[in-house]
């Protein structure tokens, strides 16, 4: 009845590639409820492997019947890319939960992704625009810290996670059991978002990402300063700066960084942003001010920081303009598109500079130039000589090892589960978490199921009279300390009640039996029984100050209901036998007394 | 009399006995009907609890006099016993507390009743309120030990109450009244004292967070009252650091800090190891850990407290800046370390290669501690915090710690420099100020200087000026550094020409601090060539002046430098020495013996002679008072001229010289006005003559107000003399009016007013009267009884003779005196383009001004706008518009709104700053003025204003609104 099944936990797909390209999809069963956390896709594959294998969830039967809800933590495609496929093509009609900004930005990204896959690469059997729209209709948007009742038992609650606009951590709770899923998060605030925060919710399990499991990062200020200094120096020299970025997330941070710097330093050099997608997204950034950091929240009344004064839309023709400029262009790894075009134009001039703000996958132009290659072969056997300066700046919005530990410390979970990272690195973090926080830690592989036993608390009803009576016995109500309470537990119709023994007897129609324990204690004492009894009396009196110790006229000593009698066994006049007798209610005191008496009496002061 | 009778009636009714001394004194006093009676009537009238509550609320709005408090209290208590509604009882209880706070009322008489009703009270809220009342009573009687003990007993008894509010109040009571260990410690007392701590300590683990907080606060209260807390509390408090509730953690951090200050040197064990450390270090580590707490309130608290833990050992201190970086389990150097290394290796470029920051050695996985028990990286976290409050607190703490530890100052430099790029201006400004404060302990490396200088381009003027101040007092290590600083400052100058003065000043200090570093740069800076003559630079170029200021100030202590100057440099020196004497020091120039002998000896040891000169000339004036009027006038004129010139030459004496010159000018005016022959003519004066005298009187008045309010550092001695001078001016005014007007009626009023002034003067300066021997007022007071009874004509006659006979008072010079001055920087008044706006609407005009030596500028400085039609408008700037960049200096940056009806063409309005004064505000401080209710109004009102800045003209053009 009070079974300890936490159910089981399934790690469906993901891991492996690490960084931002893994597909996140986790299935959690908690107290009989099934929740799917994130529904990501893999950017590296163009075949079936790009989406998680949903047939794994349920071999037969509909997904909607099996899953109670789907939760999407943020709008990155490796966390939401498979959503239209999952809901429209595989078929899921249940609720999908995400935050408002995610709900707004997610379809833009999905649509963009679809365009590239279908229109450019000409793939068939891909989800359509209509499917994205239909899928978004199933979404239920949640606010931060809003407790959403999915059904009678299951409730979810979102916490701020930093990382990207609208990223959230989710607490999933059924009864007294709960899981927190962090998604991706960032513990250090940046120029446009705050730091992740969670209260001491003490979940049974914390599922955390661990991208930077083995890294402790330097202060972000040095990075920012370096970045600004490099850009500033280059434009002062009259050079052009190219910053390849992905459309959402880091791009906004860098924009704000440059914008405020331009404002502060009164610079007039133009800054351009190259993509239409961003304009649409920037619009949402302007709207979701409560999700940004303190500075933007405080100043948006005077001026919305996302209304960029210095940053204008880029036109293809601008690249040939003379004079200094700064251009943000997509994509971030210089493998195709506008950023590559601009790069080709500017690469020959040593006054110019390209700043790579993030990680580049092997094989891309970005990776090549970062590793120092100065001559690049382009299509058509062209050789491009790179004379421009190449800089690398790491602006990443994942928590580092310290940040992960900090979050675990904040939430105080019973156990931690690491996902979204490389196994080798996770091993290190796992060891640290177990060592320093003394919390059990798991790191399942793809497709592995972890089952966690829990010790759920079971509510028991107690009558007020009994509670008050028992409370009154102690000295002070000591908070947070277990107290001994005497009563009878009655289980009836699957509810529990604690009642006083008299009432229990009455209810069950039983007669009361007296139960007494007796015990003999041998004492080494040559004096008479009465005197021994008197000594026992004074000894107990001096020790048990809070109890009522009495010396009865018949020579026996009573402590509360405990009776102590001294007798002299005939065979040995040197020893006296103390007969201690107590009822089972006074078991605690009785056993204490016997052990006390066994130690012997103190030497008489004579 | 009727009022008196009425009062008697009420007194009998309420049985409040009042001593009847009114008959003895002649004072008339208005008394209101007794409060208690009215209250009683009201309460009896009340039919429902809601009614009663309304009456009580009304009653609470007005203050109660001390003598009727007791009666009111009795009535309230009486009603309390009868009342069934808890809300009314609550209000009564709170009123009792309020009443017992009344000044002049001793609440020990109501204590018994209060304790009595406490015992029978059932409602928790009322109980809590009653305890609050007891607290008010207890704090009112800090001397009475018995009462305190009794109250503590009461509090202990109610500690077991189930309501958190009651427990809260009990703890508060204990904290405020728990007995202190006095020097005469009887056994019982010290026992009780120990008990209080233990009792409060027990509630550290209460189930309600509010009670836990209250317990910690009570403990802190005990500490504040001087009770020495026990060290055992430390461990209890440490447990509370991991409490679920932020207010508990916040208070616990404070408590830990307190204990660490009490027992810094005692030893505590480190859990799970055999080592032991000093308590202050342990506490430091724990508070550092709280800098990464989940709640920002706690983080602010922790970061603030870190700053004041100066006893912490340097090892721990330096950990706060250390965050062991790693990447993929390999140790990585921080950007700071890399920058340092680059610098020491002589390379001067960074980050050109991918993987420049590549991690180096492998890290031993076992040795890495991700959650440090110690202080690791606390400041790194604090400075990166999301909330700017935390960041500011961290910067402040860094500042305080760095001031006490030079080695730490050196280490925290990199982090402070990083903060110059914070997104919030306040934080940037704060870190620049902090840097300035610790600049004695540090020398900037070139790469650090580079970052510092980059901020010079900031568009915020505050930031730039703070940075200039910082550069004034930094030490630079290399000549390249100086060069870099100069180049950046010149760049700043071209970008923001308004910074000119600030930059020049900055370069002055930079030069005088680093003469040897400037020396090798001189040929390059002056662009001299060994063989060729170069073109003479433009003397009016601010950038060239800036370079010269740097060089000349360096040359002051570097005698070899002038040899490198070319001819025109010497000429420019002479010019600048004269035109910008505050920036260019006197130099010993070779081959210019004449100049040097004339200038240098007179400057360096000059302070004494000029001071002497000042004294001598003043003494001459004072001693020669019996000169014939003509001679006296001439002497005064000469002296005033001398003083003014002296003030211009010696800036440090300017205040004194001006001050005394103004005083002498008043005297001169007075003499001039009095020595006219016309006073001897009995006939009424004709217009022209009276004009001169009344204008003199008016001017003297103005000058005395200036003397009183425009100078900082004026003491009471001077105020007396100034007031005395003003009194003389008023007398003069009275005489002139008397001689020019016909009819006596207006004179009566004027005479009376004047005599009141005299009376007032006497009362206010009673202590100083002995110093005023033989003066106008001295004589006047001698004749006071006669004056009181004389007719106005007679008074005027007496005054006239006395004015002419009275001695000239010696003005003692104050130690430090500075004249308040203001310069409007913006608007510059040079624009030819009128500011256009639609008539009837407003236009905002940015005003930026520097104020020197203004006391309390928030209340006194006003902006005045004069329109061409004579309309004047006074604008009160917001208190937040004033910044305080340094001692004695203020900066007003505000916006004023202009509006007017349509004009046909653009015209100029005048903007200037005024110093508002109010002589009665100063006087309100003196004890005989009673009535605390009156003073706030007095202080806010403005009696008059003194313009103290040059007016600036602004060209505006209100256009008629288009239809």
Q: CATH number of the domain at A304, please.
A: 3.40.50.10890
Q: What is the mean pLDDT of residues B259-270?
A: 87
**d(Cα A219, Cα A217) in Å, to the nearest integer?**
7
What pLDDT sits at residue B608? 62
| A193 token code pair | 């978002």
CB proximity list for A124: less than 8 A, separation 6 or greater: none
Q: Do A214 and B329 touch (CB under 8 A)?
A: yes
Q: Do A437 and B353 touch (CB under 8 A)?
A: no
| A435 token code pair | 């060592």
CB proximity list for B839: less than 8 A, separation 6 or greater: B899, B900, B901, B902, B903, B958, B959, B960, B961
pLDDT band at B727 (very low <50, low <70, confident <90, very high): confident
pLDDT band at B686 (very low <50, low <70, confident <90, very high): low
* Triad B660, B664, B668: Cα angle to 5°: 170
**d(Cα B69, Cα B229) in Å, to the nearest integer?**
38
What pLDDT sits at residue B375? 62
**Does A606 reside within a domain?**
no
**Does A561 reside within a domain?**
yes
Write down which residue in A349, A368, A392 finishes a domain.
Answer: A392
Q: Do B336 and A222 touch (CB under 8 A)?
A: yes
**d(Cα B338, Cα B33) in Å, to the nearest integer?**
82
Is A233's Cβ below 8 Å from some Cβ in B?
Answer: no
Residue A367: list chain B partners with CB under 8 A: none
| A208 token code pair | 């955390």
Res. B926: pLDDT tops 70: no
Res. B529: pLDDT tops 90: no
> How long is chain A?
606
**A287 and A225 within one domain:** yes
Residue for token pair 């970005």: A366
What pLDDT sits at residue B268? 85
pLDDT digits (tens, 9 = 90+) for B366-399: 555 555 555 667 888 888 888 899 999 999 998 8
- Phi then psi for residue A455, to 5 deg, are -115, 90
**d(Cα B846, Cα B844) in Å, to the nearest integer?**
7
What pLDDT sits at residue B605? 45
Q: Do A200 and B244 touch (CB under 8 A)?
A: yes
Q: What is the mean pLDDT of residues A46-51?
A: 76
Is A522's Cβ below 8 Å from some Cβ in B?
Answer: no
Residue A410: list chain B partners with CB under 8 A: 294
Examine residue A331 and say whether the peptide bond preceding it is cis (omega within 30 degrees of 0).
yes
**A431 and A566 within one domain:** no
**d(Cα B466, Cα B450) in Å, to the nearest integer?**
16
Q: What is the mean pLDDT of residues B785-805?
A: 79
**A205 and A81 within one domain:** yes
**d(Cα B937, Cα B411) in Å, to the nearest integer?**
52
Write down which residue in A392, A419, A443 finishes a domain.
Answer: A392
For chain A, how many structural domains are there in total?
Answer: 4
**Does A82 reside within a domain?**
yes
Q: What is the pTM (predicted TM-score) of this model?
A: 0.73
Query: Among partner residues B326, B334, B424, which is closest to A215 by beta-carbon distance?
Result: B326
pLDDT band at B12 (very low <50, low <70, confident <90, very high): very low
**d(Cα B784, Cα A532) in Å, to the nearest integer?**
103
pLDDT digits (tens, 9 = 90+) for A344-400: 889 888 899 998 887 777 777 888 888 888 888 877 678 888 888 888 877 778 888
What pLDDT sits at residue B356? 47
| A191 token code pair | 């120029």
What pLDDT sits at residue A96? 94
B244-253, B394-403, B941-950: range with lowest mean pLDDT:
B941-950
Q: Do B336 and A425 touch (CB under 8 A)?
A: no
- Per-residue burial over A535-555, b = 16 or more CB atoms within 10 Å of its CB, e = otherwise: bbbbbbbeebeeeebebeeeb
Q: What is the mean pLDDT of residues B894-919?
A: 85
**A233 and A153 within one domain:** no
pLDDT band at B330 (very low <50, low <70, confident <90, very high): low
Give whichever of A597-601, B451-455, B780-784 has the largest mean pLDDT: B451-455
**Does A77 reside within a domain?**
yes
Q: What is the ipTM of this complex?
A: 0.77
CATH (domain of A41):
3.60.15.10
Write down which residue in A340, A360, A392 finishes a domain.
Answer: A392
Is A428's Cβ below 8 Å from some Cβ in B?
Answer: yes
CA distance A205 to chain B (A): 19
Q: What is the dihedral of CA B454, B457, B463, B467, to 10 degrees?
A: 50
**A38 and A159 within one domain:** yes
Q: Do B326 and A477 touch (CB under 8 A)?
A: no
Provide the mean pLDDT of chain B: 78
Residue B460: list chain A partners with CB under 8 A: 264
Q: Cβ atoms within 10 A of the Cβ of B378, count?
A: 29
Res. B89: pLDDT tops 80: yes
What pLDDT sits at residue B697? 85
Assess contact for A40 and A26: CB atoms under 8 A: no
| A36 token code pair | 């799917």
- Phi then psi for residue A142, to 5 deg, are -120, 155
Query: Among partner residues A216, A431, A437, which is closest to B323 by beta-carbon distance?
Result: A216
Q: Do B328 and A405 touch (CB under 8 A)?
A: no
* Triad B585, B586, B587: Cα angle to 5°: 110
What pLDDT sits at residue B806? 73
Query: Among partner residues A191, A371, A436, which is closest to B354 by beta-carbon distance?
Result: A371
pLDDT band at A428 (very low <50, low <70, confident <90, very high): confident
**d(Cα A15, Cα A420) in Å, to the nearest integer?**
5
Exposed/middle/buried for residue B370 (C-beta within 10 Å: 0-12, 13-18, 19+): buried
Substitution target in B209, B370, B431, B484 with the highest count of A β-carbons within 10 Å is: B370
**Does A480 reside within a domain?**
no
Q: What is the mean pLDDT of residues B131-135?
A: 88
Q: What is the percent of chain B with per-residue pLDDT over 90, rounded to a whole number?
A: 6
Q: Do A221 and B383 touch (CB under 8 A)?
A: yes
Q: Do A480 and B205 touch (CB under 8 A)?
A: yes
- Phi then psi for residue B552, to 5 deg, are -65, -35
pLDDT digits (tens, 9 = 90+) for A472-499: 665 555 555 667 777 888 888 778 888 8
Query: Among partner residues A215, A266, A370, which is closest to B459 by beta-carbon distance?
Result: A266
- Phi then psi for residue A161, to 5 deg, are -125, 0
What pLDDT sits at residue B938? 40
**A418 and A331 within one domain:** no
**Does A345 reside within a domain?**
yes
What pLDDT sits at residue B939? 44
Nearest by Cα to B944 from B890, B845, B874, B839: B874
**A151 and A210 within one domain:** yes
What pLDDT sits at residue B649? 78
CATH (domain of A553):
3.30.310
**A542 and A502 within one domain:** no
Res. A176: pLDDT tops 50: yes
Exposed/middle/buried for residue B173 (C-beta within 10 Å: 0-12, 13-18, 19+): buried
What pLDDT sits at residue B456? 86
Looking at the annotation, which residues of A are catalytic?
209
**d(Cα A422, Cα A430) in Å, to the nearest integer?**
12
Is A229's Cβ below 8 Å from some Cβ in B?
Answer: yes
Q: What is the mean pLDDT of residues A234-239?
A: 91
CA distance B459 to chain A (A): 5
Residue A220: list chain B partners with CB under 8 A: 384
User: Which CA distances in Å does A476 have to A472, A482, B191, B205, B629?
Assistant: 8, 13, 21, 11, 93
What pLDDT sits at residue B594? 41
**d(Cα B514, Cα B496) in Å, to the nearest integer?**
26
**d(Cα B700, Cα B702) in Å, to the nearest integer?**
5
pLDDT digits (tens, 9 = 90+) for B485-520: 999 999 889 888 878 888 998 999 989 888 888 888
Q: Do A222 and B384 touch (CB under 8 A)?
A: no
Q: Do B323 and A409 touch (CB under 8 A)?
A: no
**A291 and A208 within one domain:** no
Give whichever of A171-185, A347-361, B406-420 has the largest mean pLDDT: A171-185
Is A477's Cβ below 8 Å from some Cβ in B?
Answer: yes
| B659 token code pair | 């001050």
pLDDT digits (tens, 9 = 90+) for B225-252: 888 888 888 988 888 988 889 999 999 9
pLDDT band at B11 (very low <50, low <70, confident <90, very high): very low
Q: What is the dihedral of CA B512, B518, B523, B526, to 10 degrees?
A: -40
pLDDT band at B361 (very low <50, low <70, confident <90, very high): low
What pLDDT sits at residue B253? 94
Which residue did the predictor score with more confidence, A188 or B67? A188
Is A475's Cβ below 8 Å from some Cβ in B?
Answer: no
**d(Cα A455, Cα B296) in Å, to the nearest integer?**
33
User: Which CA distances in Å does A253 have to A164, A394, B715?
Assistant: 10, 12, 58
User: Which CA distances in Å does B83 have to B49, B88, B98, B367?
Assistant: 8, 7, 19, 71
Residue A221: list chain B partners with CB under 8 A: 383-384, 418-419, 421-422
Specify the 3-state DSSP secondary structure of B946: strand
Query: Among partner residues A219, A263, A294, which is closest to B459 by beta-carbon distance?
Result: A263
CA distance B536 to chain A (A): 29
Residue for token pair 């009160």: B876
**d(Cα A286, Cα A106) in Å, to the nearest integer?**
16
**Does A123 reside within a domain?**
yes
**Does A478 reside within a domain?**
no
**A158 and A206 within one domain:** yes
Residue of chain B minimizing CA distance to A373: B354
**A576 and A555 within one domain:** yes
Q: Cβ atoms within 10 A of the Cβ of B112, count?
A: 10
Query: Among partner residues A195, A410, A476, which is closest to B160 by beta-carbon distance?
Result: A476
Provide the mean pLDDT of chain A: 82
Residue for token pair 């177990």: A434
Give whichever of A445-449, B529-533, B594-598 has the largest mean pLDDT: A445-449
User: Which CA distances in Å does B299 have to B251, B374, B390, B759?
Assistant: 12, 16, 6, 60
Q: What is the mean pLDDT of residues B419-447?
A: 85
pLDDT band at A181 (very low <50, low <70, confident <90, very high): very high
**A234 and A132 within one domain:** no
pLDDT digits (tens, 9 = 90+) for A94-152: 999 999 999 998 998 888 888 878 877 777 778 889 999 999 999 999 999 999 999 98
**d(Cα B619, Cα B635) in Å, to the nearest integer?**
12
Specify the 3-state DSSP secondary structure of B743: coil
| B707 token code pair | 């003397």
Residue A72 is part of which domain span?
8-216+397-453
């Amino acid at each position: 009845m009070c079974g300890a099944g936490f159910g089981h936990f399934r790690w469906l797909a993901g891991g492996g590639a690490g960084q931002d390209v893994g597909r996140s999809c986790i299935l959690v069963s908690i107290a009989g409820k099934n929740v799917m956390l994130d529904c990501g896709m893999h950017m590296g594959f163009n075949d079936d492997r790009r989406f998680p294998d949903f047939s794994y969830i349920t071999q037969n039967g509909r997904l909607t019947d099996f899953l109670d809800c789907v939760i999407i933590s943020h709008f990155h495609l490796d966390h939401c890319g498979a959503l239209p496929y999952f809901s429209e093509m595989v078929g899921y009609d249940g609720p999908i939960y995400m935050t408002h900004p995610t709900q707004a930005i997610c379809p833009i990204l999905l649509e963009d992704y679809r365009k590239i896959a279908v229109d450019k690469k000409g793939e068939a059997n891909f989800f359509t625009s209509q499917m994205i729209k239909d899928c978004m209709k199933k979404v239920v948007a949640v606010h931060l810290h809003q407790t959403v009742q999915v059904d009678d038992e299951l409730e979810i609650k979102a916490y701020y996670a930093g990382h990207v606009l609208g990223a959230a951590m989710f607490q999933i709770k059924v009864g007294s059991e709960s899981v927190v899923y962090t998604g991706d998060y960032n513990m250090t605030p940046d120029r446009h978002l705050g730091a992740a925060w969670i209260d001491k919710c003490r979940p049974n399990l914390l599922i955390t990402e661990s991208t930077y499991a083995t890294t402790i990062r330097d202060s972000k200020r040095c990075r920012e300063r370096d970045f600004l200094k490099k850009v500033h120096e280059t434009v002062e020299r009259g050079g052009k700066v190219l910053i390849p970025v992905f459309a959402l997330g880091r791009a906004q941070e860098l924009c704000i960084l440059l914008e405020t710097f331009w404002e502060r330093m009164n610079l007039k050099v133009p800054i351009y942003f190259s993509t239409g997608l961003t304009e649409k997204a920037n619009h949402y950034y302007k709207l979701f001010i409560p999700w940004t950091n303190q500075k933007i929240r405080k100043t948006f009344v005077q001026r919305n920081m996302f209304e960029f004064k210095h940053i204008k839309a880029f036109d293809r023709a601008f690249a040939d303009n003379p004079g200094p400029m700064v251009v943000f262009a997509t994509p971030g790894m210089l493998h195709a598109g506008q950023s590559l075009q601009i790069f080709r134009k500017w690469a020959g001039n040593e006054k110019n500079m390209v700043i790579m703000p993030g990680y580049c996958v092997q094989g891309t132009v970005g990776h090549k130039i970062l590793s120092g290659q100065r001559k690049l072969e382009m299509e058509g056997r062209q050789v491009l000589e790179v004379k421009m300066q190449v800089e690398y700046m790491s602006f990443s919005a994942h928590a580092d090892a310290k940040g992960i530990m900090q979050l675990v410390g904040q939430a105080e979970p019973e156990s931690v589960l690491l996902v979204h990272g490389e196994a080798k690195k996770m091993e290190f973090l796992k060891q640290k978490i177990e060592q320093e926080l003394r919390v059990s830690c798991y790191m399942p592989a793809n497709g592995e199921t972890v089952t966690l036993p829990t010790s759920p608390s079971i509510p028991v009803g107690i009558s007020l009279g009994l509670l008050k009576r028992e409370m009154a016995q102690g000295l002070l109500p000591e908070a947070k300390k277990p107290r001994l309470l005497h009563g009878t537990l009655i289980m009836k119709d699957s509810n529990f009640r604690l009642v006083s023994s008299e009432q229990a007897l009455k209810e069950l129609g039983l007669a009361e039996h007296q139960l007494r324990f007796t015990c003999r204690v041998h004492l080494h004492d040559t004096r008479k029984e009465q005197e021994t009894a008197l000594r026992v009396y004074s000894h107990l009196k001096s020790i048990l100050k809070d109890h009522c110790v009495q010396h009865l006229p018949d020579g026996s000593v009573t402590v509360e209901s405990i009776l102590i009698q001294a007798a002299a066994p005939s065979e040995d006049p040197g020893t006296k036998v103390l007969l201690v007798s107590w009822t089972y209610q006074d078991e605690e005191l009785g056993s204490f007394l016997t052990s006390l008496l066994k130690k012997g009496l103190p030497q008489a002061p004579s | 009399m009727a009022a008196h009778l009425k009062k008697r009636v009420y007194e009998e009714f309420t049985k409040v006995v009042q001593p009847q001394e009114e008959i003895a004194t002649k004072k008339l006093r208005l008394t209101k009907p007794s409060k208690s009676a009215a209250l009683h009537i009201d309460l009896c009238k009340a039919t429902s609890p809601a009614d009663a509550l309304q009456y009580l609320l009304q009653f609470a709005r007005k203050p109660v006099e001390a003598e009727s408090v007791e009666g009111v209290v009795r009535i309230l208590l009486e009603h309390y016993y009868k009342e069934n509604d808890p809300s009314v009882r609550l209000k009564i209880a709170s009123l009792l507390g309020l009443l017992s706070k009344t000044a002049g009322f001793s609440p020990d008489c109501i204590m018994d009743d209060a304790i009595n009703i406490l015992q029978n009270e059932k409602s928790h809220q009322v109980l809590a309120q009653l305890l609050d009342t007891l607290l008010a009573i207890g704090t009112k009687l800090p001397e009475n030990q018995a009462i305190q003990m009794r109250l503590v007993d009461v509090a202990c008894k109610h500690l077991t109450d189930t309501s958190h509010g009651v427990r809260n109040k009990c703890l508060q009571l204990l904290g405020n009244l728990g007995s202190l260990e006095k020097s005469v410690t009887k056994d019982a007392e010290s026992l009780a004292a120990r008990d209080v701590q233990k009792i409060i300590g027990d509630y550290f683990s209460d189930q309600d967070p509010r009670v836990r907080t209250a317990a910690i606060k009570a403990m802190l209260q005990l500490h504040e009252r001087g009770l020495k807390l026990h060290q055992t509390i430390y461990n209890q408090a440490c447990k509370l650091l991991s409490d679920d509730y932020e207010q508990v953690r916040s208070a616990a951090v404070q408590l830990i800090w307190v204990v660490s200050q009490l027992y810094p040197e005692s030893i505590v064990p480190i859990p799970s190891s055999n080592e032991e450390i000093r308590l202050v270090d342990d506490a430091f580590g724990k508070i550092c850990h709280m800098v990464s707490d989940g709640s920002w309130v706690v983080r602010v608290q922790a970061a603030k407290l870190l700053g004041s833990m100066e006893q912490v050992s340097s090892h721990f201190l330096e950990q706060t800046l250390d965050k062991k970086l790693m990447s993929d389990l390999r140790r990585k150097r921080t950007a700071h370390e890399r920058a340092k290394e680059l610098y020491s290796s002589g390379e001067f470029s960074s980050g050109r290669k991918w993987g420049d920051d590549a991690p180096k050695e492998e890290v031993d996985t076992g040795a890495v501690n991700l959650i440090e028990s110690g202080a690791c990286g606390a400041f790194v976290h604090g400075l990166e915090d999301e909330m700017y409050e935390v960041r500011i607190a961290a910067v402040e703490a860094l500042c305080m710690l760095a001031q006490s530890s030079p080695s730490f100052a050196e280490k925290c430099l990199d982090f402070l420099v990083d903060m110059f790029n914070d997104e919030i201006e306040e934080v940037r400004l704060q870190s620049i100020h902090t840097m300035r404060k610790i600049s004695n302990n540090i020398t900037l490396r070139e790469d650090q200087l580079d970052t510092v200088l980059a901020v010079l381009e900031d568009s915020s003027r505050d930031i730039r000026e703070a940075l200039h101040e910082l550069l004034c007092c930094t030490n630079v290590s290399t000549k390249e550094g100086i060069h870099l600083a100069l180049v950046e400052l010149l760049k700043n100058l071209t970008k923001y020409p308004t910074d000119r003065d600030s930059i020049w000043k900055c370069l002055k200090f930079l030069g005088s601090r680093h003469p040897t570093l400037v020396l090798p740069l001189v040929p390059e800076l002056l662009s001299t060539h060994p063989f060729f003559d170069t073109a003479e630079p433009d003397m009016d170029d601010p950038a060239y002046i800036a370079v010269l200021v740097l060089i000349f100030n360096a040359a002051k202590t570097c005698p070899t430098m002038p040899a490198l100057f070319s001819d025109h440099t010497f000429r420019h020196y002479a010019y600048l020495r004269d035109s910008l004497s505050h920036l260019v020091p006197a130099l010993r120039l070779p081959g210019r013996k004449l100049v040097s002998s004339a200038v240098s000896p007179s400057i360096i040891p000059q302070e004494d002679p000029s001071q002497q000169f000042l004294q001598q000339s003043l003494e001459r004036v004072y001693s020669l008072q019996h000169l014939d009027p003509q001679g006296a006038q001439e002497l005064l004129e000469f002296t005033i001229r001398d003083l003014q010139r002296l003030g211009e030459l010696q800036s440090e004496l300017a205040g004194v010289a001006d001050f005394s010159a103004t005083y002498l000018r008043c005297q001169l005016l007075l003499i001039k006005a009095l020595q006219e022959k016309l006073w001897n003519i009995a006939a009424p004066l004709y217009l022209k003559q009276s004009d001169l005298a009344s204008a003199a009187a008016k001017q003297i008045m103005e000058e005395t107000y200036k003397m009183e309010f425009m100078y900082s550092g004026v003491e009471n001695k001077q105020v007396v003399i100034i007031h005395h001078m003003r009194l003389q001016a008023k007398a003069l005014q009275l005489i002139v009016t008397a001689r020019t007007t016909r009819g006596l009626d207006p004179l009566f009023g004027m005479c009376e007013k004047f005599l009141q002034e005299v009376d007032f003067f006497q009362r206010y300066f009673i202590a100083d009267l002995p110093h005023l021997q033989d003066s106008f007022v001295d004589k006047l007071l001698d004749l006071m009884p006669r004056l009181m009874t004389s007719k106005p004509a007679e008074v005027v006659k007496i005054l006239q003779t006395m004015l002419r006979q009275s001695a000239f008072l010696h003005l003692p010079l104050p130690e430090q005196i500075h004249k308040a001055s203001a310069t409007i920087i913006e608007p510059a008044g040079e624009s030819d383009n009128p500011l256009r706006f639609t008539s009837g609407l407003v236009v905002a005009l940015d005003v930026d001004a520097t104020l020197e030596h203004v006391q309390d500028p928030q209340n006194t400085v006003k902006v005045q706008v004069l329109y061409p039609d004579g309309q004047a408008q006074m604008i009160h700037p917001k208190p937040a518009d004033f910044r305080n960049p340094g001692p004695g200096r203020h900066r007003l940056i505000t916006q004023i709104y202009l509006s007017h009806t349509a004009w046909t063409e653009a015209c100029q309005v005048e903007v200037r700053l005024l110093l508002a004064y109010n002589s009665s505000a100063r006087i309100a401080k003196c004890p005989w003025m009673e009535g605390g209710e009156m003073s706030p109004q007095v202080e806010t009102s403005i009696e008059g204003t003194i313009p103290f800045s040059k007016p600036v003209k602004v060209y505006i053009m209100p256009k008629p609104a288009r239809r």
